[in-house]
Chains A and B, each alone.
Chain A
Amino acid sequence: MPNRSRVIPFPGVEAELPPILRVEGLGLSRGGRRVLDEVELSLPPYGITVLMGPNGAGKSLLLRCMAGLVEPDRGAVFTALGAAPAALVFQSPVLLNRSVAGNLRHALRLARIPRRARAERLDDLLMLAGLGDQATAPARTLSGGEQQRLAIVRALAAAPKLLLLDEPTSSLDPAATAEIERLIARTADDGVKVVLVTHDRAQAERMAEDVAFLHGGQVREHGAARSFFGQPASAEARAYLEGRLFV
């Protein structure tokens, strides 16, 4: 029997609130290897949870499991999301070969937003992304930062309660990064729970309420951001933050 008794302490202030999503004993094999192994994680219902960990730790796969796109081999993901499932923005988002507005209209249709509500929602999303002037431009001619903003608001088309973002700023300059961070912060302020994967420590410190650290397919620690950055509990997290973790 795998060891299921390992308890990951639930971070700080929201401890009394029930989690919005709970991962229990999650295991996943890929290419004959266990890439996720007994993952335990509880997401507090509000704010931004940052997920960190070295390349290949399993962050992207864990997000896919949380979004229900990948069926785990073992364990389960429990959510209190009801009918509004988690939205996921991939590490390299794929936009349709249509205009900016066309991409959003398509997502609104898929999200089964009633026809008469769509025009207004479309305007809201364009404004939120700061892409009002580029509504008719082909989506694939946008800059990397603009494409990333479009991908994020496209994921918001379905009005999700949980937004999973996989390294949304990994290839962006500081100004574009700041815009994405503003967009994420606004989304979280609107009551959407956000999980943000990033390798950018400064970004994590700016954005995170709590941090989960994934290594070798396991959550090694999960705690309030301040304590994670001030005094990481695991040797791996310490090594990762100091840039001496080699996998």
Chain B
Amino acid sequence: MQPFDGAFAQAFQLMVSADPALMQIVGLSLQVSLSAVVIACAIGMPLGAALAVLRFPGRRVISLFVSAAMGLPPVVVGLALYMAFSQAGPLAVLDLLYTPAAMIVAQTVLVTPIVAALTRSAVAGLMEEFDETLRALRASRGQRIATLLWEARPALLTAALAGLGRAFAEVGAVMIVGGNINHVTRVMTTSIALETSKGALELALALGIILLILSLAINAAAMGLRPRPLGLAYAK
């Protein structure tokens, strides 16, 4: 166990000394994943609410695809975007390959279906409960959607967190479209993969621990935001 103990000690050393290389990687990770989640929420929440509330042709098919897309393998998304962004690809003009922007796009594609599907199911459930009441109170369609989204806010928070978890954890997509270039597109998960494959466990461990701490901190903050449950099993 000797090398592991050493690795732990060095990992804590890196963290305590706020090692610049480490901080850069953590900073880029946060920037990429948080941007992706914000964009995914901006697209996914209205989309999910619309799928729950509006009746239009193709609604069920779209819902099915959105649900299915929750399980998209990151490497497949990475590959598809790589082909789109590469020189021969249709999006080559954007010149995004191997940039943080490409990584944000990739994670947005991965996170949006999660946010949309969780929003849809939460709003659909509330709709069963509230829709007739809201119509009896003469709410317009827009007012009904707004009320349902507001009533669904604990579930929306959960959806955003689930999306953030997915974004933080995935390696495949950012690795392929970002290229894991030092100081440019290297994030926590891609560094861990690289350092581990090189046998440099201390940086990998430090990053792993930071990833866990960040995840805990974000979820704890979210828990503080959540309204206290009333402890009522019925809603009469």
Contacts and interface: CB of A to CB of B under 8 A. Distances in A.
A111 B137 CA distance: 7
Contacts of B129: 94
A158 B137 contact: yes
Using C-beta atoms within 8 Å of the partner chain, give the interface range for chain A. 20 to 34
A93 B133 CA distance: 8
A138 B230 CA distance: 8
Given A96-B151, A97-B151, A110-B138, A141 B133 contact: no
Secondary structure class of chain B's binding surface, majority of residues:
helix
Contact of B133 (A85, A94, A140, A147): A94
Contact of A144 (B135, B137, B143, B236): B236
B230 A87 contact: no
B58 to A, nearest CB: 25
Contacts of A140: 230, 232, 235
Given A96-B151, A97-B151, A140-B230, A69 B236 contact: no
Find the residue from A106, A110, A141, A157 having the highest chain B CB count within 10 A. A110
A227 interface: no
A141 B230 contact: yes
Nearest to B140: A110
B235 A94 contact: yes
A107 B236 CA distance: 18
Contacts of B230: 138, 140-141
B70 to A, nearest CB: 27
Contact of B138 (A94, A141, A144, A158): A158
Contacts of A155: 136-137
A207 interface: no
A229 interface: no
A92 B133 CA distance: 10
B137 A96 contact: no
Given A94-B235, A141-B230, A144-B236, A69 B132 contact: yes
A88 interface: yes
B133 A110 contact: no
Nearest to B134: A110
Given A140-B230, A141-B230, A106 B147 contact: yes
A66 to B, nearest CB: 11
A206 to B, nearest CB: 25
A90 interface: yes
A69 B151 contact: no
Interface of B: 129-130, 132-139, 143, 147, 151, 227, 230, 232, 235-236
Closest 4 CB pairs of A and B: A94-B133, A88-B136, A110-B139, A110-B137
